[in-house]
Structure formats: structure tokens, C-alpha cells
Amino acid sequence: MYTGKGFGIVEGKATGKVLVISSCVSANIVVENTNSPSFELERFYKARSEAGVQLQNLQEQSATSLGKDQAAIFEAQTMMLMDEDFEEVVRELIIKKDLSAIQAVKAGGEKIAAIFLGMENEQMRSKAADIFDLSRRLHTILSGQSASVYPPEEPFILLAKDLSPGELMQWRSPQLQGIVLSGGSAHSHLAILAAAMKLPCLISADIESDKTYENKILALDASAGMFYLDPDKALLNRFIQEIKREKIKKPATDNRPFYLKTGEEIEILANIGSPEELDSVLEHHCQGIGLFRSEFAYLGRLDFPSEEELFQVYRRLALGMQGRKVVIRTLDIGADKDAPCFGLAREENPALGNRGIRLCLQRQDVFRTQLRAICRAAAFGNLMLMVPMLISLDELLQVKGLLLEVQEELRQEGLEIPELPVGAMIETPAAVMLSEALAKEAAFFSIGSNDLTQYTLAVDRQNPALAALYRQSHPAVFRMLGEVMRAAKAAQIPCSICGELAHDIAHTRELADMGFRSFSMAPVFVPAFKKYLSEQYLQSASPNDTI
Ligand code: PEP
Ligand code: MG
């Protein structure tokens, strides 16, 4: 048994077989020595044949289980795999640059993807994602790691250097039990997604490069920051029993409202990313959804979701919340949230790059599809729209203009389209400085303290080396919150908070004193937040009973 330590960012225990995600781990697990070019060439051709067989199998499997469109993706990838240009690029890198087969498929993949990304034609640009996928597949085969692209049929734990939210979506399955990363960051979207999926998750874990992990049993205790590779029987049984007990004992969440002395109610809303989380929103008696991270439906996908598919998702939310509010944040792709369907070029500084509303205003075709789906679903409940990553009033006005056009288009099609309040997410210092102007055009504000902290402090929320500097309670961030609240009050619009600061009970009182009455958080955090409120604030059946 090997015992390793790490830092738990989503608590809980899990057991399962290890599945190594090689694209991420290879950098620190696979030790590469370059052999003679002829040897490396032979390795490449062998891997290419194996990849061909895998793709053929995937094509057949997906034709029956996922439909023709998915099967066509694998067919196209097979053609690319056998493409002479791709072969030529890899051959040249091996022969002329003395690269190993692994290095050559990676560099070759990047080279060809860059050519596709530079093309005018949208369809051609999207081929870059297929090339990345292919080169990852070859890399996986060459490094002798698991080459599966379907989640295993038995309980498993993902082990990687780091994972993107898109990669996690790819491995999403009822059999996925937990995540162990040698890298990772507590403030990343991966962390948010893992919490939403209730997956115990360990970052900065002691993954040793000389150990074999693949297919071994791993017992993970993220709450204690420990993992056990090849655990002994007694330990494994103890874990299995505890996990079972944990599942049974679900304490009922407090469903009483909380009021301040002034009689004002404290509103608790939920942050979610998929309709599958609705049960936990209702189970924890949240008063609405304060942040629906709509981009999660696009992550890791090679094709864009259709208007109908999105409409079904939003309608489910509207109906599921039975008239309570549902704030849909418009697509916030970019930075660490990779959606291959956009075929985005690699950026030097992705957090400062083409993300959020900037990308939506550039890709109005994609944005309009989302807006149409939201407008149609708005007839089934109490939906609201929220715009992320704003840095100017003009961006908000452009969104409102597009929305009016889309609403008019739908009305022309004979549909009844209700009004949709449009709120501004305040998560850049520019939005803070412009909050007075934004408040005149926004129906509400919601503070994204995760990004606001990153951009105010100039600290990358993804960088584990800077974790100690990334403080949402930094006085500079709080001054910003004060500014925004002042602007919201002056314009008489509500202002909630939906970043991770919302559930940090060490600062709830300060936030309440500043005027915050609405806190939006992942449902997992609601019980502890309610417990804190029940100790601090009077709860009663009616505001008249308050002291
Ligand atoms: C935020 O930035 O605080 C936020 C809620 O958005 P996300 O974490 O999805 O970037
Ligand atoms: Mg954000």
C-alpha cells in the first residue's frame, strides 16, 4: 500500500480503480527517451494502426448508442489519422528534428491544428479540435496509458496532473467516484464542477512518477487530504462501509427563512451547471437559482448544442424551480473552460483572453441560438439573463439589443415571449468602476467574486503557487464590493453575490452589514451556511417575530 497526501477541495471519501488521464499526467509520469528515428517511426506507425482500430470501434459503438452525428466525428478522425500531410509532418519531426514518436505526434498535432485555426472557413477551423483529439489518442497509446475514451463500467477514480472542465465532462459517468490531481487549483472551474458533481477531489497530491497507478485500486479520503494506492483489505472495507453510511445519513436541510433584525430576509440561491443538480437545489430548500453556468453544456464538445437541446435544458430548469427565479448566465467560455466546438486558438494569457461576453459578441450566431432557447423557455417559469465578464456599458447594451431582436424574431414566428430581466455580472474592476452607469441599464447585479478577486489582485485563480495571495476577502476586493453595493442601492436594483465568497461564513456578517441580502452558492455549501445563519440570525415564520 502506498499512502499519499494532498489538499482536499471537495470533501468526501471514494474508492475505485485508477484511470490515468495521460494527456495531463504524461508530463510527470511518462519518462521519454528518444531512440533511433527508425525505431520511433515504427512506434508511430504501430500506434497509428492501433488508433485506427480504436476509432473504428468507437464509430461502431457510437452509431448504435449516440447516433449518426457522433459516429461521423470518428469517421472524420479516421480519415485525418491516415492523412498523408499529417503523416509527413510527424515523419519529418522524427527524422529531421530527432523527436520521439510521442513528442512528434504532440508537436505535429499542434502544427496542423494551427493551420486549421488560421483558416477563414468556420468548418475548417473546427477541424483543429479533431486534430487535438487525434494527437491525444496517439500520445495515449504511445505512452502505454489507458486509451479508453468511454468511462469504464466499474467504479473509477481519475488521476491526472490537471484536468480541464471539458475533460471532466468527457469522463462524467455514474461510475466516476473521485479525482486526484498532482497539480490543480482550488479556485478553478474544475473545482467548481467537481463540487457540483459531488466528486471528492484532491489537488497537489503526491503522485510519484516512478509508480504505476493505472488500474490499481485507490481509496481516497479528500476530507483528510489522503489517498491510499493498493489499500489493504481492512482499510478498503472500512472506506466502503463509511461511504455507504454517508449516503444513507442525509440530514434534512433547514427550510425556515432567515431574517435580519430589520426584518429583511436573507435569500439563499443556488449555483449550478446542469439540470441534474435540480434535486439538490430543492433538497436544500434554495429560494432560486442565482447562477446557472450555462457554458457547462458546451464543454468538451466537438459540436455546438442545438437550440432545441438548449431549450429543453432551460425549460427543465424553469419548470423544476416552480416559479422561483432562475438566473441563466450567458455562455462564459474561455480561460480554463475549453469548448473545442469553438475552435479557439491557444492564447498566451487565457484569463485575459477571448472569454465570456466578448466571445459571444464575436460569435453572434452561437449566441443568438442560446438567446432564442432562453427566450422560448422563459414562458415556462421565472427566467432571468445575466451577462458575464462585462467591461463596458456598450457590451450590456449590445446584449440587450440582440435580445430585443431575438424576441421580435420569435414573436414573428408566432410564439408568446415574456419579458426577460437582464442583469450584469460584476467580476472585472472595469465593471466596478462603471457600476453606476451599468446600474441604470441592468435589472440586477450579481458579484462574481472569483474573477473579481483574480482581476483586482492580478492573481491567476488557476495558479497553485499563488494560492496564498488569492484572497477573496482582500481589503481591495471589499472596497470594490462596497462601491458596487452603493451603485445598486442608488439605482434601487438588487445586488447579490455568487462567487465563492458567498458561502464564506467568516465574512457573511461583514457582507450583510454592507447591504448584501442575497447569497448564491453551490448546494453542497448550503447546510453549513444555514447552520451559521441559524446561530447568528433569528429565524422565524414571519418577519414580525424578529427582534
Ligand atoms: C465568479 O467569477 O465569481 C463566478 C461566479 O463565475 P465563475 O466562477 O464561473 O467564473
Ligand atoms: Mg467568473
Q: Are residues 349 and 423 in the same domain?
A: yes
At 275-309, the pLDDT tens digits run: 989 999 999 999 999 999 999 888 877 678 899 99
Tell which atom from ligand 1 comes closest to the C-alpha of 293.
Answer: 9
Interatomic CA distance for residues 124 and 387, integer angstroms: 30
Among 102, 125, 143, residue at a domain's last position? 143
Read off the CATH number of the domain in which 133 is found.
Answer: 1.10.274.10
Interatomic CA distance for residues 351 and 50, integer angstroms: 37
Q: Could you tell me if residue 544 is inside a domain?
A: no
Tell which atom from ligand 1 comes closest to the C-alpha of 501.
Answer: 3
Is the full-model pTM beyond 0.85? Answer: no
Domain that holds residue 480: 258-537
Q: Are residues 471 and 513 in the same domain?
A: yes
Interatomic CA distance for residues 125 and 302, integer angstroms: 12
Among the residue ranges 212-221, 246-255, 359-368, 403-412, the one predicted with the least confidence is: 246-255
Residues 309-343: b if buried by 16+ CB within 10 A, e if exposed: ebbebbbbbbebbeebbbbbbbbbbbbbbbbbbbb
Interatomic CA distance for residues 354 and 280, integer angstroms: 33
Which of helix, strand or coil describes residue 177?
A: strand
Q: Tell me the CA distances in angstroms from 447 to 377, 390, 433, one per residue in order.
A: 25, 11, 13
Q: Are residues 481 and 335 in the same domain?
A: yes
Please answer whether residues 142 and 105 qualify as being in contact, where contact means their C-beta atoms are separated by less than 8 angstroms: yes
Per-residue confidence at 26, pLDDT binned at 50, 70, 90? very low
Output the nine-digit C-alpha cell for 241.
462501509
Q: Are residues 314 and 183 in the same domain?
A: no
Q: Are residues 243 and 262 in the same domain?
A: no
Read off the CATH number of the domain in which 187 is found.
Answer: 3.50.30.10
Among left, alpha and beta (phi > 0; psi -120 to 50; other), residue 351 is alpha
Q: Could you tell me if residue 177 is inside a domain?
A: yes
Question: What average pLDDT does this structure show over 35-60?
Answer: 87
**Nearest by Cα to 357 from 367, 344, 347, 348:** 367
Ligand 1: residue whose CA is nearest its atom 6: 448
Output the nine-digit C-alpha cell for 11.
470533501
Q: Could you tell me if residue 526 is inside a domain?
A: yes
Among 143, 171, 194, residue at a domain's last position? 143
Q: Tell me the CA distances in angstroms from 411 to 247, 348, 392, 418, 419, one per residue in order.
A: 48, 43, 29, 10, 12
Which of helix, strand or coil describes residue 381?
A: coil
* Catalytic member of 139, 187, 189, 503: 189
Q: Are residues 273 and 306 in the same domain?
A: yes
Q: Are residues 401 and 533 in the same domain?
A: yes
Tell which atom from ligand 1 comes closest to the C-alpha of 450.
Answer: 3
Q: Are residues 242 and 305 in the same domain?
A: no
Per-residue confidence at 543, pLDDT binned at 50, 70, 90? very low
139 is catalytic: no
Please answer whether residues 338 and 373 qualify as being in contact, where contact means their C-beta atoms are separated by less than 8 angstroms: no
Among 224, 249, 274, residue at a domain's last position? 249
Instruction: Give, for ligand 1, the residue of 9, 185, 271, 293 to mutate: max count of ligand atoms closer than 8 Å to Cβ.
Output: 293
Tell me which residues have their CB closer than 6 angstroms to ligand 1: 189, 192, 291, 293, 332, 427, 448-451, 498-499
Q: Are residues 57 and 197 in the same domain?
A: no
At 154-167, the pLDDT tens digits run: 899 999 988 877 77
Q: Could you tell me if residue 12 is inside a domain?
A: yes
Q: Could you tell me if residue 546 is inside a domain?
A: no
Instruction: Answer yes or no: is pLDDT of 530 > 80.
Output: yes
Question: What average pLDDT does this structure show over 420-442?
Answer: 98
Concatenated DSSP letters of 68-116? HHHHHHHHHHHHHHT-HHHHHHHHHHHHTS---HHHHHHHHHHHHHHHH
Compute the distance from residue 44 Cα to the ligand 1 centre, in Å.
42
Please answer whether residues 443 and 384 qualify as being in contact, where contact means their C-beta atoms are separated by less than 8 angstroms: yes
At 128-145, the pLDDT tens digits run: 777 877 887 888 788 776
Compute the distance from residue 73 Cα to the ligand 2 centre, in Å.
32
Please report which ligand is nearest the Cα atom of 448. Answer: 1
Q: Are residues 473 and 350 in the same domain?
A: yes
Read off the CATH number of the domain in which 296 is found.
Answer: 3.20.20.60
DSSP 325: E
**Nearest by Cα to 395 from 357, 440, 428, 421:** 357
Among the residue ranges 33-47, 102-116, 134-148, 518-532, the one predicted with the least confidence is: 134-148
pLDDT of residue 370: 98
Ligand 1: residue whose CA is nearest its atom 10: 451
Which of helix, strand or coil describes residue 396?
A: helix
Q: Could you tell me if residue 58 is inside a domain?
A: yes
What sections of 143-252 are H helices per DSSP? 165-170, 189-196, 233-248
Q: Could you tell me if residue 239 is inside a domain?
A: yes
Q: Are residues 330 and 455 in the same domain?
A: yes
Number of structural domains (the chain) is: 3
Interatomic CA distance for residues 544 and 527, integer angstroms: 25
Residue 222: phi, psi to the nearest 5? Answer: -70, -30
Q: Are residues 361 and 439 in the same domain?
A: yes
474 is catalytic: no
Output the nine-digit C-alpha cell for 208.
510519484
**Nearest by Cα to 515 from 488, 535, 533:** 488
Q: Could you tell me if residue 30 is inside a domain?
A: no
Residue 447: phi, psi to the nearest 5? Answer: -90, 125
Compute the distance from residue 491 Cα to the ligand 2 centre, in Å.
23
CA dihedral over 454, 455, 458, 460, signed as positive or negative? positive
Which of helix, strand or coil describes residue 536?
A: helix
